[in-house]
């Protein structure tokens, strides 16, 4: 792996930190005595500061969306296929900002941060955060970076929810919102999957009521189960059949073995590696933020009234086999945007990869996303 | 610009709210946005067309007309346009009704199956007409509900749809005096502007 050799990679990147020292009020009524956000940027901000794109991450994402931290890294950032020179989110045209959300476990203030009032880690006492809180914290980061108005705020899944909240809460601060495989609120089924994940974590004896770090333990098993359940919902039946079929791990059935089928081995690997890199308290907090997201609730449960606050243009993308955030959920957003007479384009991308499609380099998906952003770039270039 | 789209563009008032059903590559809406400050949406299902629309900055929505238009509110548009699509939808009668529920007026264009070349093809050769006017073979045509001008006007009468204006053109989208005298024989394509029920 030589990250610098590829012309389509942003190359080696270094995370940066933004420190907000003021009191930060949260939707839950509590306040954070300041916070830090860790973020990365790719590309150059132009003189007018009009070419910035904010990337909002999904449930288990982080700020490291593209490029490599070190030339020895095996894997690039989580959305490297989409972000870079000549890619749909083109770092030759745009200044791309990717941030780890408040409450995260990859460097931004969260459960693993020291609570200045107690001198110990926040752990389970870290306040509940909402999508609105994330947008508010990201606005402060934008101020710090000198970005009055983003060209676009882009996100998939939970990231798309943030982009939608941005458009509602700060209409003057973005030209476009790109909502990929997202929803205006979770369905009961979706909340149910999150609850199974949360129960798996909190039922793990090593969870210790969230105080596992003080006891030098980690709820590995709970996190692993949570991730395995989540992972199944991110794939499609067809996609799994094609990827694993009923292939056996060792070639023949040996009844009673722990791992027989490839799909088991895959899920266990995914679950185990997740339990090593993700914080259980963060997982609980992020899934709660997902569950609570419902911008229409501030507007008499009318999504079109909520979206009537917006001024940007929208691009709404969904995938045919996504059942976690189905195309019908994206259509609800599109219909509400039409009712509120907003500018919107939408595409339903044929894909066999379920919800995970939003992370994959599917040609039509990238044409739509790249085309939309390219048009945006043309329009503000003409305006300048 | 495609001549038929130029004819339609002339029928649309500046600033109108337009819904274009089967908007293709977005040429009409892009033209209207640039020249008439028209705010509109286009519905389309072809992936290549959708990408082209997005590249043009047109509000294109991926939606199949056969799945209905329930997501559009009553009287939410000034003009609903459907260009050469009527003949390929499942229920043209219901769709026309929907168009006038959603729009104050609508513009519909379609090919005339009673055009003299079609008649000649069928009468003299005994085969389904294939020409520049109707380019598909019977087995691969998307046109499942072809009609003649007379048929269409009978439907409008039955459904109490008010024909505000109509004109017919030849296969090259030109007007000719003969067409005005014998539209259902010499007209290849028709443009109808319809309004709500006749009073």
Closest to A238 (Cα-Cα) out of A155, A322, A296, A148: A322
Buried b (16+ CB within 10 A) or exposed e, B23-36: bbbbbbbbbbbeeb
Following DSSP, what letter does each residue of A131-175 receive, concatenated? HHHHHHHHHHHHHHHT-SSBSEEEEETHHHHHHHHHHHH-GGGBS
Catalytic pick from A57, A63, A64, A355? A355
Nearest-10 crossing angle of helices A131-145, A158-169: 70
The reply to whether residue A368 touches residue B53, judged by beta carbons under 8 angstroms, is no
Q: Is residue B31 part of a domain?
A: yes
How many structural domains compose chain B?
1
The whole-number pLDDT of residue A1 equals: 46
Please report, in angstroms and rounded to a whole number, the separation of the first and last CA atoms in chain B: 37
In the 3-class helix/strand/coil scheme, how is chain B assigned residue by residue?
A: CCHHHHHHHHCCCCCCEEEEECCCCCHHHHHHHHHHCCEEEEEECCHHHHHHHHHHCCCEEECCHHHCCCCCCCCCEEEEEEECCHHHCCCHHHHHHHHHHHEEEEEEEEEECCCHHHHHHHHHHCCCCCCCCCCCCCCCCCCCCCECHHHHHHHHHHCCCEEEEEEEECCCCCCCHHHHHCHHHHCCEEEEEEECCCC
For residue B177, give the CATH number of its domain.
3.40.50.150
The whole-number pLDDT of residue B199 equals: 54
Contact B88, B147 (CB under 8 A): no
Q: Give the contacts of B70 (CB within 8 A, at least 6 positions apart).
A: none
The whole-number pLDDT of residue B148 equals: 96
**Is 80 exceeded by the pLDDT of residue A254?**
no
Distances (CA, A) of A240 to A124, A157, A354: 35, 20, 9
Buried b (16+ CB within 10 A) or exposed e, A183-199: bbbbeeebbebbeebbe
B137 close contact with A: CB closer than 8 A:
no
Q: Is residue B97 part of a domain?
A: yes
Q: Is residue B125 part of a domain?
A: no
B61 close contact with A: CB closer than 8 A:
yes
The whole-number pLDDT of residue A310 equals: 98
The whole-number pLDDT of residue A169 equals: 98
A5 an active-site residue?
no
Tokens of A285: 């907090």
A20 an active-site residue?
no
The whole-number pLDDT of residue A6 equals: 73
The whole-number pLDDT of residue A382 equals: 80
Phi, psi (5° rounding) for residue B67?
-85, 0
B102 close contact with A: CB closer than 8 A:
no
Contact A305, A87 (CB under 8 A): no
Q: Is residue B13 part of a domain?
A: yes
Q: Is residue B62 part of a domain?
A: yes
**Is 80 exceeded by the pLDDT of residue A252?**
no
Per-residue pLDDT of chain B (199 residues; tens, 9 = 90+): 888 899 999 999 999 999 999 999 999 999 999 999 998 999 999 999 999 999 999 999 999 999 999 999 999 999 999 999 999 999 999 999 999 999 999 999 999 999 999 999 999 999 999 888 889 999 999 999 999 999 999 999 999 999 999 989 998 888 888 898 999 999 999 999 999 875 5
Using one digit for the tens of pLDDT, what is the confidence trace for A291-300? 999 999 999 9
Q: Is residue B20 part of a domain?
A: yes
Q: Is residue B117 part of a domain?
A: no
Angle (CA) B50 B55 B61, round 5°: 35
The reply to whether residue B50 touches residue A334, judged by beta carbons under 8 angstroms, is no
Using one digit for the tens of pLDDT, what is the confidence trace for A117-158? 999 999 999 999 999 999 999 999 999 999 999 999 999 999
Q: Is residue B140 part of a domain?
A: no
Helix (H, G, I), strand (E, B) or coil at A316: strand
Domains of chain A: 3-185+295-383 (3.40.50.1820), 192-286 (1.10.1740.110)
The interface residues of chain B toward chain A in range 160-179, judged by CB-CB distance below 8 A, are none
Query: Where does the pLDDT of residue A261 fall: very low under 50, low under 70, confident under 90, or very high at 90 and above?
Result: confident
- Which one of B61, B68, B77 makes the best mutation probe of the A interface by having the most chain A beta carbons within 10 Å? B61
**Is 50 exceeded by the pLDDT of residue A181?**
yes
Catalytic pick from A157, A318, A326, A351? A157
- Which one of B43, B48, B62, B102 makes the best mutation probe of the A interface by having the most chain A beta carbons within 10 Å? B62
Q: Mean pLDDT of all residues in chain A?
A: 95
* Number of alpha carbons in the 13 Å side-chain half-sphere of residue A33: 8
Instruction: Write out the residue range of the structural domain in which residue B181 sits.
Output: 3-112+146-195
The whole-number pLDDT of residue A5 equals: 53
Report d(CA B4, CA B22) in Å as an integer.
14
Q: How far does the CA of residue A316 sit from the closest CA of chain B (Å)?
A: 9
């Amino acid at each position: 792996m030589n990250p610098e050799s590829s012309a389509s990679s942003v190359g080696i990147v270094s995370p940066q930190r933004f420190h907000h020292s003021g009191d930060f009020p949260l939707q839950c009524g509590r306040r954070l005595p300041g916070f830090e956000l860790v973020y990365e940027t790719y590309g150059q901000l132009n003189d007018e500061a009009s070419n910035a794109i904010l990337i909002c991450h999904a449930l288990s994402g982080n700020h490291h969306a593209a490029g490599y931290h070190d030339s020895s890294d095996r894997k690039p950032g989580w959305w490297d296929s989409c972000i870079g020179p000549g890619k749909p989110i083109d770092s030759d045209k745009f200044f791309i900002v990717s941030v780890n959300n408040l409450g995260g476990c990859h460097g931004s203030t969260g459960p693993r941060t020291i609570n200045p009032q107690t001198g110990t880690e926040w752990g389970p006492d870290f306040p509940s955060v909402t999508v609105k809180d994330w947008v508010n914290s990201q606005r402060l980061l934008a101020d710090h970076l000198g970005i009055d108005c983003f060209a676009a705020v882009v996100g998939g899944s939970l990231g798309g929810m943030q982009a939608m909240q941005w458009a509602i809460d700060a209409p003057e601060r973005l030209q476009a919102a790109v909502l990929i495989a997202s929803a205006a609120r979770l369905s009961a089924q979706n909340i149910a999957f999150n609850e199974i994940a949360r129960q798996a974590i909190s039922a793990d004896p090593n969870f210790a009521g969230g105080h596992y770090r003080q006891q030098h333990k980690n709820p590995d098993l709970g996190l692993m189960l949570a991730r395995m359940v989540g992972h199944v919902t991110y794939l499609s039946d067809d996609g799994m059949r094609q990827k694993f079929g009923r292939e056996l791990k060792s070639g023949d059935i040996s009844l009673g073995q722990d791992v027989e089928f490839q799909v088991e081995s895959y899920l266990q690997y995914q679950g185990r590696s997740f339990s090593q890199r993700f914080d259980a308290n963060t997982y609980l907090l992020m899934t709660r933020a997902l569950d609570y997201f419902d911008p229409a609730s501030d507007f008499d449960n009318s999504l079109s009234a909520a979206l009537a606050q917006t001024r940007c243009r929208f691009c709404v993308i969904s995938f045919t086999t996504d059942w976690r955030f189905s195309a019908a959920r994206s259509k609800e957003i599109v219909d509400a945007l039409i009712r509120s007479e907003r500018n919107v384009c939408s595409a339903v991308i044929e894909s066999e990869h379920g919800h995970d499609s939003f992370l994959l380099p599917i040609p039509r998906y990238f044409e739509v996303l790249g085309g939309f952003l390219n048009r945006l770039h043309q329009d503000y270039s003409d305006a300048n | 610009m495609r001549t038929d789209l130029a004819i339609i563009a002339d029928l649309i008032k500046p600033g109108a709210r337009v819904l274009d059903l089967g908007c293709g590559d977005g040429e009409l809406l892009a033209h209207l946005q640039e020249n008439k400050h028209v705010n509109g949406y286009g519905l389309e299902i072809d992936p290549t067309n959708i990408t082209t629309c997005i590249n043009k900055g047109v509000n294109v929505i991926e939606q199949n007309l056969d799945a209905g238009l329930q997501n559009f509110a009553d009287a939410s548009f000034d003009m609903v346009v459907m260009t050469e699509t009527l003949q390929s939808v499942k229920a043209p009668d219901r769709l026309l009704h929907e168009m006038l529920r959603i729009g104050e007026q609508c513009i519909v264009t379609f090919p005339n199956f009673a055009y003299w070349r079609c008649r000649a093809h069928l009468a003299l050769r005994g085969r389904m007409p294939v020409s520049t006017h109707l380019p598909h073979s019977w087995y691969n045509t998307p046109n499942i509900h072809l009609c003649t001008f007379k048929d269409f006007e009978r439907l409008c009468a039955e459904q109490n749809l008010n024909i505000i204006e109509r004109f017919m053109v030849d296969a090259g989208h030109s007007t000719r005096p003969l067409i005005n005298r014998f539209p259902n024989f010499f007209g290849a394509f028709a443009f109808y502007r319809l309004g709500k029920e006749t009073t």
